């Protein structure tokens, strides 16, 4: 039985794991070394000749070029995503920026959807601009706007699915068709979806990126990113990776490998909690609006249902009373911790106006849709009844 014929949980546990492991250990060991040795000069020559011929010998040379613990992670996530190849990075941002730097040159054009991670927008507006790459921002899920803004020099189109913080969901197959007709490639950040809920490569995406810090790791205890796709696109990234040096420590890779084994179990609970909490919030009088693709009121509900197995554990919503209303609400919560990030077993809550977008002036923040009353709740795997009871008592503090 091949990996693709096995169930998701079976692949989560077994894919990428060598058998037998060194010392016949059940788990893949942490290979804690910065360099690797050779038996003799003939061994060195054979290794280099295999590399010159385009092969990838399964042994190390130097820590910046790869590590057996990291290779196991790459193979496991590739099996879950249905990808030919994968490459692990030190963070999700490091993964994104390496892709952008590798596939864009001076004079090229990048198109991104507006509801994109703020640091990605900053990278495009600063580093890419200085390198002579122009960026155009288009509305999410607007096929006409996307097609209208593609140019002969457009090399990449970059979107998230679902987006942050409004959880918009593009029609991936239609987006890929438009992008490919223009001769460009489609890069998708699928961090919020995970391979459990959606596999963008099956819908026409060329490359998929994840912040493995989030759901893939799942325990709020590591930083990592990963890019997946066909070998012909991953190979130039591997070359850039060895030069830019965004490598993951083997101890971190081990934590990620361990977290991945329970991904399906955790995502089932995240999906359940997300839907139950979204439905509760949609009926509460202190909540003005709820943004969750599993609700029929969401503008992308139909395409989300068509493309996704579940909708994840992030729920964004507007609390009445503006800045003061959100302050009263968040300070009254007892289960979630106040902090950025998402996808871990612990629930986290934040007010974007006060945290992720605080340095923007009010007019600029409102222009990109981040209101005073917006809350992003990244639900963990606690009991939904406890989360809802806590929300009810905290919303009772909102005037």
Q: Which residue from 15, 172, 156, 187 is spatially nearest to 92, judged by alpha carbons?
A: 187
Residue 4 has pLDDT above 90, yes or no: no
Q: Which residue ranges make up each domain of the chain?
A: 3-31+67-106+153-159+188-260, 263-395
- Lookup result for tokens 């546990």: 13
Q: Which CATH class is domain 3-31+67-106+153-159+188-260?
A: alpha beta
- Give yes or no for a contact between 151 and 109, defined as CB atoms under 8 angstroms apart: yes
Residue tagged active-site, from 189, 206, 249, 372: 189
**Catalytic residue check, 64:** yes
Q: Which CATH class is domain 263-395?
A: alpha beta
Task: Return contacts of 147-154, CB within 8 angstroms, 24+ apart.
Answer: 147/178, 147/182, 149/111, 150/111, 150/178, 150/179, 150/182, 150/184, 151/109, 151/182, 152/183, 153/107, 153/108, 153/109, 154/108, 154/109, 154/110, 154/111, 154/182, 154/183, 154/184
E-state strands within 230-298: 287-291
Residue 324: its pLDDT value, please?
Answer: 86
Residue 19: its pLDDT value, please?
Answer: 86
Q: Are strands 287-291 and 225-229 parallel, antiparallel or unpaired?
A: unpaired
- Give yes or no for a contact between 341 and 217, defined as CB atoms under 8 angstroms apart: no
Residue 358: its pLDDT value, please?
Answer: 44
Residue tagged active-site, from 11, 108, 117, 254: 117
With bands split at pLDDT 50, 70 and 90, how would you rate the model's confidence at 175?
very high
Residue 52: its pLDDT value, please?
Answer: 87
DSSP letters along 88-102, please? EESSHHHHHHHHHHH
Q: What is the mean pLDDT of residues 298-309?
A: 97
**Catalytic residue check, 117:** yes
Least confident of 7-16, 114-123, 216-225, 281-290: 114-123
- Give yes or no for a contact between 297 and 280, defined as CB atoms under 8 angstroms apart: no
Residue 117 has pLDDT above 50, yes or no: yes
Residue 201 has pLDDT above 80, yes or no: yes
Residue tagged active-site, from 76, 214, 365, 376: 214
- Give yes or no for a contact between 96 and 160, defined as CB atoms under 8 angstroms apart: no
Query: In angstroms, rounded to a whole number, what is the distance separating the alpha carbons of residues 207 and 199?
Result: 11
Residue 137 has pLDDT above 50, yes or no: yes
Query: In angstroms, rounded to a whole number, what is the distance separating the alpha carbons of residues 247 and 63?
Result: 8
Q: What is the mean pLDDT of residues 242-247?
A: 94
Count of C-beta atoms within a 10 Å radius of residue 92: 25
- Which tens digit of pLDDT belongs to each residue from 354-372? 655 545 566 555 566 666 8
The model's pTM is 0.94
- Give yes or no for a contact between 373 and 326, defined as CB atoms under 8 angstroms apart: yes
- Give yes or no for a contact between 178 and 205, defined as CB atoms under 8 angstroms apart: no
E-state strands within the chain: 85-89, 109-113, 134-138, 154-160, 185-189, 207-211, 225-229, 287-291, 314-319, 337-338, 348-350, 374-378
**Catalytic residue check, 43:** no
**Percentage of the chain exceeding pLDDT 70:** 94
DSSP annotation of 62 reads B
Residue 226 has pLDDT above 90, yes or no: yes
Residue tagged active-site, from 6, 36, 64, 279: 64
Query: In angstroms, rounded to a whole number, what is the distance separating the alpha carbons of residues 375 and 350?
Result: 6
- Which tens digit of pLDDT belongs to each residue from 13-66? 999 998 888 888 999 999 999 999 999 999 999 999 998 888 777 788 999 999
Q: At what angle do helices 68-81 and 250-260 cross, to 10 degrees?
A: 30
């Amino acid at each position: 039985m091949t990996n693709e014929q096995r169930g998701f949980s079976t692949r989560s546990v077994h894919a990428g794991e060598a058998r037998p492991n060194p010392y016949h250990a059940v788990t893949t060991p942490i290979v804690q070394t910065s360099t690797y040795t050779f038996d003799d000069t003939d061994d060195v020559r054979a290794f280099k000749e295999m590399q010159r011929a385009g092969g990838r010998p399964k042994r190390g040379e130097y820590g910046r070029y790869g590590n057996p613990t990291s290779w196991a992670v790459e193979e496991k996530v590739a099996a879950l995503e249905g990808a030919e190849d994968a490459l692990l990075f030190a963070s999700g941002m490091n993964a994104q920026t390496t892709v952008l730097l590798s596939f864009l040159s001076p004079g090229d054009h990048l198109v991104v959807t507006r509801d994109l991670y703020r640091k990605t927008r900053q990278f495009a507006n600063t580093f890419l601009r200085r390198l002579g790459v122009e960026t155009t921002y288009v509305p999410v899920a607007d096929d006409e706007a996307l097609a209208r803004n593609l140019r002969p020099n457009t090399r990449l189109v970059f979107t998230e699915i679902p987006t942050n913080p409004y959880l918009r969901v593009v029609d991936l197959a239609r987006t890929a068709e438009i992008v490919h007709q223009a001769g460009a490639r489609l890069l998708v950040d699928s961090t919020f979806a995970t391979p459990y809920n959606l596999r963008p490569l099956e819908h026409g995406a060329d490359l998929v990126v994840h912040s493995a810090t989030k759901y893939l790791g799942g325990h709020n205890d590591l930083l990592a990113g990963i890019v997946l796709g066909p070998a012909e696109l991953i190979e130039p990234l591997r070359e850039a990776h060895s030069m830019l040096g965004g490598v993951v420590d083997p101890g971190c890779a081990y934590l990620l490998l361990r977290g991945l084994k329970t991904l399906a179990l955790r995502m089932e609970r995240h999906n359940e909690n997300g839907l139950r909490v979204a439905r509760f919030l949609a009926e509460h009088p202190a909540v003005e609006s709820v943004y969750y693709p599993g609700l029929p009121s969401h503008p992308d509900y139909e395409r989300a249902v068509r493309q996704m197995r579940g909708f994840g554990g992030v729920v964004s919503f507007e609390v009445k009373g503006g800045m003061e209303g959100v302050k009263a609400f968040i300070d009254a919560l007892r289960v979630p911790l106040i902090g950025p990030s998402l996808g871990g077993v612990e629930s986290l809550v934040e007010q974007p106006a006060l945290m992720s977008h605080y340095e923007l002036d009010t007019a600029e923040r409102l222009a990109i849709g981040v209101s005073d009353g917006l809350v992003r709740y990244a639900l963990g795997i606690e009991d939904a009844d406890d989360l809802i009871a806590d929300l009810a008592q905290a919303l009772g503090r909102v005037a």
